[in-house]
Chains A and B, each alone.
Chain A
Amino acid sequence: MRCYATYIYISLQLVIKGHTPGIMKVNKDLIEKYHRQECTEEEAEAVEQWLFSAESDEALQLPVNEEKIVHKQDIWKGIQGILPEEPAPVMIRKMSFGFWSGAIAASLVTGIVILGTHQLMQSKDRSFEQMVTLNNTSSVNVRHVESQEYNVSIGTNTSARIDNITGIVDLSGSMMISPKEDITLKFEGSPEKITFKKGQTYVILKGKDGKDKIIIVSEKNLMDLPPVLQKQIINEFNI
């Protein structure tokens, strides 16, 4: 757990340059101390303030004149430099018993999504942000990401390219999506637009081969899928 928090901290340091919330500076040592439960009351309060502050999001906003795509590439390069070959699992679901780590993970995930995907689905007025790519090259771990509009779990060996302007999604692999509001998306390989309803969870499967048919079902109807696919989904997304 501590390693995880440390990794998150290091990652955050790459994107939150010189972030100094509150009076006390929150740094790597302090966070590690916090996880060892060795903080004074004042130190613990500073860490908790930092955790609950929305500044991680603010810090991710770039000056208007700067090309975000450049920042995105730079930051990802930086993060990849310290990451193991497979992307570290960002398992919001797995972290529930460690609340603070979960909170940090949520902040990180939010940060990565917002920065890495250029404010998913929000930037219709900025042409360079039209295309968003979500990748998971891990063959073991699912990546859970969260945006203002929906939670997405990206399956193993999956890539999803989202055109924010047309709402067209080019998926290769598997994903689960839980919209926070009703949204309509169109998937490559599917002739119709699909409306995903708020509060429901959907499973979307699409093989890498362009000829593979896309399968979109509500999680509640998972039992209607062929058992072979059911087992695959249950295993992959731990549902």
Chain B
Amino acid sequence: MNSIFNRHIYFFLAVLLCFSACRPSPVVSDEKANSRYSIYIMGRDGKEYLLETNSLDSGVIVPEQKGAELDVKLIDRSVIVRNGYYYHYERKGASFVKYIVEGRNLNVVSATPLQQFSIENYQWLGGDTLLLTGLSTPDFSHVKYVLLNAVNMKKLAEGNMQIPAPSGRFDSMSIGFVKPQNDKLLVGYTYHQQLSTSDYTTSDTTYISELSFPSMKLSGSTKDIRSTYPGGINTVQSSSFTDEQQNYYFMDCPGLALGNRPELPTSIMRIRAGEKKADPDYFLNFSAAAGNHAYGMWYLGNHKAIVRAERKDLFKGLGDHYSTPHFEFYITDLQTSVIKKLDLPLDKGTRRECVLINKDVAYISVNSPEEGNFIWILDIRTGSLKKGLQLAGNTDFILRIDKLR
């Protein structure tokens, strides 16, 4: 609603970019250079902060005292974090921007123009090559991609992916995952139909297409009707991974917060190493096991994953889905389908990048109005849980925890 203000900010950003392009590489202090983790905070007053820290194991951080306050008109939680830098698609500025935290400021390092794009998925393709997959805007009906070098932010390629546009009753689509497989790409997606201003539905089908790389030509597609809405927007929350045997696992999320086909089960599906379709013999029905839908999945290793599940008995609808503490975390055995709830306070926030695996430890951020905002530490071998770093002060939501370097 503050368009005049926004316009000034964008002008300022443009000027900043000009200066950034001419200046030498940013100087990072020794303290910052040591920071291994990044934390993205939303405050009670709507302010947002990025914090960098070397430890998640203990202590207290007050974001308004230590963090870089963010311009929420320019940036949101949908960031890609790698090697000390933050990457974010600036929708209004139509550019993909690389940032660094210097002192208590988030500064622009460089940017590359990227127009009429809506990011659905990012994928590192070895080294510093980043593949962004998204939809054309404003129609959200064509799949676009950009391949770029994240060091110098130069585009290597861009164009359309040859994936069928929505047709019939469907008017938009979602790209749920992009997975390099052999010398090709597998893309998981589905289609949506807007029913009214406040209601929509999703096709009952999970689509997986195989594309040649880098030409992005379609070489085959499969349909799977066991569930729908594969993956999710992975700049906001993870929902897929590759195991030690190079098998790829992804969630299908038909619940209220993604597919809005609640009669279908949240499930975990698998694409075997080298294959190009979902394994017809593998279907982990998470809804049947937990009695609820889930969104978000992180791999612990040894065929176990953490799944973040909602509690339908505790929220009323989308209006309070994010603000009511109702989320639970389950350790899910991918081989036996046995799930075990972790003894954590109920968590709030519909979609968050809230789990970070570091060798034998899983850091789990939990936003509990009663017990506080903590990073909990799960010992993967023993299953023991304890509180680690506390985010205090203005903190309302820990929206992300990332490995910074």
Q: Show the binding face of A for B, using Cβ within 8 Å.
A: 92-94, 96-97, 102, 144, 151, 153, 155, 158, 172-174, 176, 178, 190, 200-201, 205-209, 212-218, 220-221, 223-229, 231-232, 234-235
Contacts and interface: CB of A to CB of B under 8 A. Distances in A.
A215 B46 contact: no
A159 B359 CA distance: 55
A96 B2 CA distance: 10
Interface in B1-26: 1, 3-4, 7
A215 B351 CA distance: 17
Nearest to A150: B1
A205 B349 CA distance: 20
B197 A208 contact: yes
Contacts of B72: 220
B260 interface: yes
11 contacts: A92-B3, A151-B1, A153-B1, A172-B197, A207-B198, A208-B197, A212-B196, A212-B197, A212-B198, A216-B319, A217-B319
A124 to B, nearest CB: 26
B236 A207 contact: no
A207 B323 CA distance: 23
User: What 8 A-B pairs are tightest by C-beta distance, nearest first?
Assistant: A207-B196, A93-B3, A224-B322, A224-B350, A205-B198, A96-B4, A220-B46, A228-B200
Interface of B is mostly: loop
A206 B192 CA distance: 18
A218 B72 CA distance: 13
Given A102-B4, A158-B197, 17 more contacts: A93-B3, A155-B197, A173-B197, A174-B198, A178-B1, A190-B319, A200-B46, A201-B1, A205-B197, A207-B196, A213-B199, A215-B317, A217-B319, A223-B77, A223-B78, A225-B350, A228-B174
Contacts of A224: 257, 321-322, 349-351
Interface of B: 1, 3-4, 7, 42, 46, 72, 76-78, 91, 118, 137-138, 140, 172, 174, 192, 194-200, 202, 232-233, 236, 256-258, 260, 317-319, 321-323, 349-351
B1 A97 contact: no
Nearest to B196: A207
B190 to A, nearest CB: 11
A235 B138 contact: yes
B319 A215 contact: yes
A235 B196 CA distance: 15
Contacts of B323: 221
Contacts of A231: 118, 140, 172
Contacts of A206: 197-198
A214 B198 contact: yes
Nearest to B349: A224
Nearest to B48: A220
Contacts of A190: 319
Contacts of A214: 198, 319
Contacts of A213: 198-199, 317-318
Given A215-B317, A228-B192, A96 B3 contact: yes
A213 B72 CA distance: 29
A200 to B, nearest CB: 7
Given A213-B198, A231-B118, A94 B321 contact: no
A215 B198 contact: yes
A215 B318 CA distance: 6
Nearest to B321: A224
A207 B197 contact: yes
Nearest to B193: A228
Nearest to A153: B1
Contacts of B199: 207, 212-213
A178 B3 CA distance: 13
Contacts of A208: 196-197
Contact of B7 (A97, A158, A178, A235): A97
Given A214-B198, A220-B46, A226 B1 contact: no
Contacts of B236: 223
A224 B72 CA distance: 15
A190 B319 CA distance: 10
Nearest to B192: A228
Nearest to B232: A227
A92 B2 CA distance: 9
B169 to A, nearest CB: 14
Contacts of A92: 3
Contacts of B256: 226
B395 to A, nearest CB: 14
A4 to B, nearest CB: 16
A176 B3 CA distance: 14
With a 10 A CB-CB cut-off, give which of A153, A221, A232 has the most chain B CB atoms: A221
Nearest to B46: A220
Contacts of B260: 226, 228
B140 to A, nearest CB: 6
Contacts of B118: 231
Nearest to A207: B196
A192 to B, nearest CB: 9
A96 B322 contact: no
Nearest to B259: A226
A109 B86 CA distance: 41
Contacts of A217: 318-319, 322
Contacts of A205: 197-198
A227 B259 CA distance: 9
A227 B76 CA distance: 14
Contacts of B322: 217, 221, 224
